[in-house]
Amino acid sequence: MRWKIDGKRTIGSGASRHTGLRLHLDAACTLKLPMGFLAITLGIAAGLIYHAPAALAAARTIIVSPDKSQSHFQTIDSAIASIPKRSRTAVTLLIRPGIYHERIIVPRHAPPITFMGVSAADTILVDSRIAYQKGSNGKPIGTFSTQSTWIRSNNFSAANITFANDAGISGNGYDGQALAIRVDGDRSVFYHCHFVGWQDTILLNKNRQYFDRCRILGAVDFIFGNATAFFNRCHIVALGYGCLTAPRTPADHPYGFVFSHCKISSYAKAHDTWLGRPWGPFASSIFLHCRLPASLNAAVFQHWMDKRSPETARFAEFADTVGPSGTPSGQTPAWISQLTAAQAAAITIGSVLGGSDHWNPELTVQRLANHGKRLVSAAH
């Protein structure tokens, strides 16, 4: 599949005016999601066949494909269910191009698992749960049960995969919270992945996560949670009015969300995008060397309902630039820290994520990159 932005606008006027995002499948179905003014087209690349690279044969490799003749399983959830409980053998799911409309849960007891695709544009993991829908008890399921994919285990990694939730948007505009992914496990790594939603796209609920060269789309608080996470050279896309981040960092955690050398784009109206707002009193979001959109609100960060949060929140910037001219950012309110060069230099992947176990997620990224090259080679 291919993502394509064609700039199409949804017709409307006055208070009811809104613009829309459309996920269109060149195959047998079309899914329309009003989300900002862009339209995203996903075209399935037909006839692509590849085999597990020999280098992965030592670890367990499971092939997942909509085509039963070319795979061990046709759904990702059934592939995960086949992994023995308490197994210590690392498992790679080679996921062939397609749309996997299912709810995926990687259980807490799972061994290290890797989701590997050929390209994020061709491999879509999506579900449609939304906070207000009723569960088996007749009550709304709530935000924390809407995730399309739930990573509960430690040492999970993914490359070239799109995680999406196609709920949350209706023909009348915004509908509610709908998670594309929830991550609870420690030491999770995402490389060249896409994340698509509207409100609450990514819940980083706890522990440590690393995102490298990923694309994240949403509008309202679409990167949020209690975890410590580092975003390296990612593209963050605001589709409508709202804040990019809503951290709820614990008081004893030195870092929450760190964005380094990221590009921030916005399809919202002028002044309708903020970098973040504190979900909790000790919330932390830091933006280093990032390219910010010209439509960014002059305040850059926003209060939540608790006006006392600026007294303890830890939001900061260093060497961010705004708009195509690269004009330095510097219009932030007094409660936002402008870091010195020395302070910024001390904020590294290692200092943020290393921990007592000296975790180095860049080693996982290198493994994922090497495996991805083999996949692309095998696909041709």
The pLDDT of residue 70: 85
Show which residues are catalytic: 200, 221
Residue 379 has pLDDT above 80, yes or no: no
The pLDDT of residue 18: 34
The answer to the question of residue 250 being in a domain is: yes
The pLDDT of residue 371: 80
What is the rounded CA–CA span in Å between residue 134 and residue 180? 18
The pLDDT of residue 312: 83
Rounded CA Rg of the chain: 20
Encode pLDDT of 280-338 as tens digits: 888 999 999 999 998 888 778 877 655 656 778 899 999 988 876 566 665 567 778 88
Contact partners, residue 15, CB within 8 Å, separation at least 6: none
The answer to the question of residue 180 being in a domain is: no
Contact partners, residue 41, CB within 8 Å, separation at least 6: 2, 3, 4, 6, 22, 23, 24, 26
CATH number at residue 232: 2.160.20.10
Residue 255: its H or E element: none
State the chain's mean pLDDT as an integer. 81
The answer to the question of residue 339 being in a domain is: yes
The answer to the question of residue 200 being in a domain is: no
CB 142 within 8 A of CB 148: no
The answer to the question of residue 148 being in a domain is: no
The pLDDT of residue 44: 26
| pTM: predicted TM-score of the whole model, two decimal places | 0.84
Residue 32: its H or E element: strand 30-33
The pLDDT of residue 22: 42
Three-point CA angle 137, 143, 149, nearest 5°: 100
* Three-state DSSP state, 153: coil
Q: For residue 334, with 0-12 CB atoms within 10 Å meaning exposed, 13-18 middle and 19 or more buried, which class applies?
A: exposed
Q: What is the largest CA-CA distance in the chain?
A: 61
The answer to the question of residue 134 being in a domain is: no
Q: Rounded to whole angstroms, what are the CA distances from 241 to 43, 194, 201?
A: 28, 20, 14
Range picked from 219-223, 293-297, 359-363 for highest mean pLDDT? 359-363
The pLDDT of residue 39: 34
Three-point CA angle 175, 179, 184, nearest 5°: 155
Encode pLDDT of 151-174 as tens digits: 999 999 999 999 999 986 654 456
Structure-model confidence comparison of residues 86 and 156, the more confident one: 156
Averaged pLDDT for residues 92-119: 96
What is the rounded CA–CA span in Å between residue 61 and residue 72? 10
What is the rounded CA–CA span in Å between residue 370 and residue 376? 10
Residue 370: its H or E element: helix 361-379
The pLDDT of residue 230: 98
Averaged pLDDT for residues 164-192: 85
The pLDDT of residue 303: 74
Work out the percent of the chain whose per-residue pLDDT is above 90.
Answer: 59
The pLDDT of residue 218: 93
Q: Rounded to whole angstroms, what are the CA distances from 66 to 189, 210, 224?
A: 25, 29, 32
86: which 2 tokens? 């308490």
Residue 376 has pLDDT above 60, yes or no: no
* Three-state DSSP state, 334: coil
Range picked from 207-211, 247-251, 333-337 for highest mean pLDDT? 207-211
Residue 240 has pLDDT above 60, yes or no: yes
40: which 2 tokens? 């995203």
Averaged pLDDT for residues 181-209: 97
Encode pLDDT of 15-61 as tens digits: 333 334 444 333 333 334 433 323 332 332 223 233 333 333 346 89
Averaged pLDDT for residues 78-98: 94
Three-point CA angle 105, 107, 110, nearest 5°: 130
Averaged pLDDT for residues 5-18: 34
Domain count, the chain: 1
Domain ranges, residue 270: 219-347
CB 161 within 8 A of CB 169: no
Q: How far is CA 43 from the centre of its chain?
A: 21
Torsion of CA 206, 208, 210, 214, to 10 degrees: 0
The answer to the question of residue 247 being in a domain is: yes
Q: Of the given ranges (192-196, 326-330, 339-343), which has the lowest mean pLDDT? A: 326-330
Residue closest to 103 by CA, chosen among 130, 131, 127, 73: 127
> Would you say how long the chain is, in residues?
380
The pLDDT of residue 12: 31
* Three-state DSSP state, 81: helix
The answer to the question of residue 99 being in a domain is: no
